[in-house]
A and B are shown apart, each in its own frame.
Chain A
């Protein structure tokens, strides 16, 4: 990159106690279904009470994590707001579908329709912070947050923005969890996060969350070195691309001292993680972040947040994030302390 990009601040709402205080990842117990629910923070202090009443869950999580990220970065108006979401506000989409049926297309409340539009969180953040500059939303499974990240890097390289608020958010409802269970997204037997990687079964554990970063040109502790996306690669293409990516970044595989990987225990697709691990030295420390946040379209944002926390802790110098979503959208991100 011609202009260096740094992670200046972040904020994460996730199944973990990640929003406030010191972060220690926990292997949380599940009792009912294979779904790690996000722990919602108190919204007072972020959203005025009259707005709070009308807003659905994902909008509250998205807006609040975005605002906290700006506060953490002592920033108010970023140069751009760019996000990714695979599903947007599912709760609103479902409500409007049910309302259409229940009320037979008459006298419908428009609020769920408005909030179901994928760019509604972006609009709210822009409105609340009076940010009138570049604003974009990507909605493509495991290339939602990732293209938001690339767009953010481009904004900075173009000189259009000094700082970008970049986020990824998704929620999982009980209804949608059932829908996706019908096509094999989740493990059929209740599987604990502690056991999911070794379960030897198809599917995984669902999750959700909202993670924002303030990415900018002012130097800070963690540098975003580069990223690459691959669409439906073969294992051979994956291996060659990772080798080439590291070479382009001027980083020898031995320099990587942390691999944050999206391995999720789905026997159909975990072999890609084996391929990536073979490119790196066997001694590299590994964190499989989906044990902590579950699988969702924009889980990669939680993965990058995990990398950031690890680099800030001083335990590691050079970290690679590798994630894919059901074997289709693959992404490498390289970060350095």
Chain B
């Protein structure tokens, strides 16, 4: 019997708060972080709303305690801030003391900063400190800077499976623990808004000019967002030995591929169905044990049909409360899986279910509609968190109340 994997620390930064507590307060106050960008240089700035972290990059460097921020991209700084909180909340003073894996996730690495100087790099006449950002053109740069800063060096890597990246990072870290390769892994993702990504999704006609409306009949696309989130995972025996405080258990997971289309899910949600079904089976829980589903719910035309059909097929007439928290944060791509995993932990610890904002009318393709109210004192023992992405990459996590 493989060991249980516990969540013993959480840290995050998003459009609705610079730490977990601020995120919780915004969720409870039903306060969205979506608005027009202050920091991204794009012609879409006052047209396409985004979920931007409310700090300049210089302010982020100060928050992260970095005095010389040369070479530190916004992606790295967001990640560092979330990482520092995660370690602190797990009661880890010196992360280097215990061999710890760091499994990060990113979709475009340091693009937020490198895109500003890319054509200077190509110009042989131009010299300067901007050349120090060349290594930030990949996804490994942010991971290694965070690893080096915190001493997480046992296994260091980065996963990129589009919008399911950090859900896969959590799975991989949990599997390294179960295989006995490490006793602790810090997993999650970091993502900064970029002109590159905004134009990418805009060229796909996937962005709504309004605040996104997941699972609404009138939805017309997503809002992009940025942020970072990390969860400290530990084997149960190790957590018990060091008397760590378990916040929840990562009890089940599954990764499937749609094998349907490069950027669209199948209309019946075959991949989503399998990912949820197998993750719940792995957790040892039944369908009836699930009280809340934090859905992927991007508010694109395709995702919500596909994911909604998968929910109806899996749960039949007893679909649990479900909501998308993307109207709060925007779609934070590689960070989304970890941000929403933390919202799932909070749901269990605070016994609350988060509302799906901006919902008016049920989709004509579905019989179900999301939870639009904030539910307090709601018994939540098991949450399913979904992340689905380009390339058909689907991931579902089951997060459970520990000891339950």
Which one of B113-121, B231-239, B301-309, B319-327 is at the interface?
B113-121
Contact: B140 with A139, CB < 8 Å?
yes
Which one of A17-25, A28-36, A124-132 is at the interface?
A124-132
Q: A120-B262, A182-B131 are in contact. Are A137 and B160 (CB under 8 A)?
A: yes
Q: In the complex, A144 Cα to B160 Cα: how many Å?
A: 10
Contact: A179 with B137, CB < 8 Å?
yes
- Say yes or no for B134: interface residue by CB 8 A criterion: yes
Which one of A98-106, A260-268, A270-278, A299-307 is at the interface?
A98-106
Contact: A232 with B153, CB < 8 Å?
yes
Contact: A154 with B179, CB < 8 Å?
yes
Q: A139-B140, A140-B156 are in contact. Are A131 and B175 (CB under 8 A)?
A: no
Contact: A113 with B203, CB < 8 Å?
yes
List, in ascending order, chain A residues with CB within 8 A of B271's CB. 132
Q: In the complex, A296 Cα to B225 Cα: how many Å?
A: 32
Shortest CB-to-CB span from B258 to chain A, Å, is 7
Q: In the complex, A112 Cα to B148 Cα: how many Å?
A: 33
Interface string of A105-142 (1 = CB under 8 A from B): 11011100110111110111011011111111111110
List, in ascending order, chain B residues with CB within 8 A of A88's CB. 160
List, in ascending order, chain A residues with CB within 8 A of B178's CB. 158
Q: In the complex, A131 Cα to B392 Cα: how many Å?
A: 11
Contact: B203 with A109, CB < 8 Å?
yes
Contact: B257 with A131, CB < 8 Å?
yes
- Say yes or no for B261: interface residue by CB 8 A criterion: yes
Contact: B139 with A139, CB < 8 Å?
yes
Q: In the complex, A175 Cα to B391 Cα: how many Å?
A: 27
Q: In the complex, A86 Cα to B141 Cα: how many Å?
A: 11
Partner of B158, one of A87, A96, A126, A140: A140
- Say yes or no for B390: interface residue by CB 8 A criterion: yes
List, in ascending order, chain B residues with CB within 8 A of A87's CB. 138
Q: Which residue of B lies closest to A153 (CB)?
A: B179
Partner of A139, one of B159, B203, B261: B159
Contact: A138 with B157, CB < 8 Å?
yes
Q: Which residue of A lies closest to B171 (CB)?
A: A136
- Say yes or no for A6: interface residue by CB 8 A criterion: no
Partner of A118, one of B107, B122, B179, B258: B107
Contact: A110 with B158, CB < 8 Å?
no
Which one of B57-65, B192-200, B346-354 is at the interface?
B192-200
List, in ascending order, chain B residues with CB within 8 A of A86's CB. 138, 140
- Say yes or no for A81: interface residue by CB 8 A criterion: yes
Q: Which residue of B lies closest to A180 (CB)?
A: B134
Q: In the complex, A113 Cα to B154 Cα: how many Å?
A: 33
Q: How many A-B residue pairs have CB under 8 A?
A: 170
Q: Which of B230-272 contact A (CB under 8 A)?
A: 255-263, 270-271
Contact: A126 with B161, CB < 8 Å?
no
Shortest CB-to-CB span from B106 to chain A, Å, is 7
Q: In the complex, A86 Cα to B144 Cα: how many Å?
A: 14
Q: Count chain A CB atoms within 10 A of each CB in B44, B155, B172, B257 and give the residue with the most.
A: B257
List, in ascending order, chain A residues with CB within 8 A of B162's CB. 117, 119
Q: A175-B122, A231-B156 are in contact. Are A183 and B147 (CB under 8 A)?
A: no
- Give how many B residues have a beta carbon under 8 Å from the other chain's beta carbons: 61
Shortest CB-to-CB span from A79 to chain B, Å, is 12
Q: A96-B196, A118-B107 are in contact. Are A105 and B274 (CB under 8 A)?
A: no
List, in ascending order, chain A residues with CB within 8 A of B172's CB. 136, 151
Q: A105-B44, A131-B259, A175-B122 are in contact. Are A143 and B157 (CB under 8 A)?
A: yes
- Say yes or no for B360: interface residue by CB 8 A criterion: no
Partner of A130, one of B115, B138, B154, B259: B259
Shortest CB-to-CB span from A249 to chain B, Å, is 15
List, in ascending order, chain A residues with CB within 8 A of B200's CB. 96, 110, 113-114, 116
Contact: A117 with B134, CB < 8 Å?
no
Q: In the complex, A329 Cα to B158 Cα: how many Å?
A: 13
Contact: B139 with A229, CB < 8 Å?
no
- Say yes or no for A60: interface residue by CB 8 A criterion: no
- Say yes or no for B168: interface residue by CB 8 A criterion: yes
- Say yes or no for A178: interface residue by CB 8 A criterion: yes
- Say yes or no for A221: interface residue by CB 8 A criterion: no
Contact: B391 with A122, CB < 8 Å?
yes
List, in ascending order, chain A residues with CB within 8 A of B161's CB. 118-119, 122, 135-137
Q: In the complex, A117 Cα to B107 Cα: how many Å?
A: 7
Q: A120-B391, A158-B175 are in contact. Are A136 and B159 (CB under 8 A)?
A: yes
Q: A119-B391, A120-B391, A140-B158 are in contact. Are A135 and B179 (CB under 8 A)?
A: no
Contact: B147 with A231, CB < 8 Å?
yes
- Say yes or no for A328: interface residue by CB 8 A criterion: yes
Q: Which residue of A lies closest to B274 (CB)?
A: A132
Interface string of A169-186 (1 = CB under 8 A from B): 000000100111011000
Q: In the complex, A139 Cα to B108 Cα: how many Å?
A: 10
Q: In the complex, A124 Cα to B389 Cα: how many Å?
A: 14
Contact: B138 with A132, CB < 8 Å?
no
List, in ascending order, chain A residues with CB within 8 A of B255's CB. 134-136
Q: Which 4 A-B pairs have the closest CB atoms?
A: A123-B391, A113-B200, A118-B160, A110-B203
In the complex, 25 of the A-B residue pairs with CB atoms within 8 angstroms, ordered by the A residue number, are A96-B199, A97-B118, A105-B43, A105-B44, A113-B199, A114-B200, A114-B262, A114-B263, A117-B391, A118-B160, A119-B390, A119-B393, A122-B257, A133-B256, A135-B255, A140-B140, A151-B175, A158-B178, A178-B122, A179-B121, A179-B134, A182-B134, A231-B153, A231-B155, A232-B148
List the interface of chain A (C-beta within 8 A of B).
Answer: 81, 86-88, 96-97, 100-101, 104-106, 108-110, 113-114, 116-120, 122-124, 126-127, 129-141, 143-144, 147, 151, 154, 157-158, 175, 178-180, 182-183, 229, 231-232, 297, 328-329
Given contacts A123-B392, A139-B140, A231-B156, 17 further A-B contacts (CB under 8 A): A105-B43, A120-B262, A120-B391, A122-B393, A123-B390, A126-B257, A130-B259, A132-B258, A134-B256, A135-B255, A136-B172, A141-B140, A151-B175, A183-B135, A229-B155, A231-B153, A297-B138
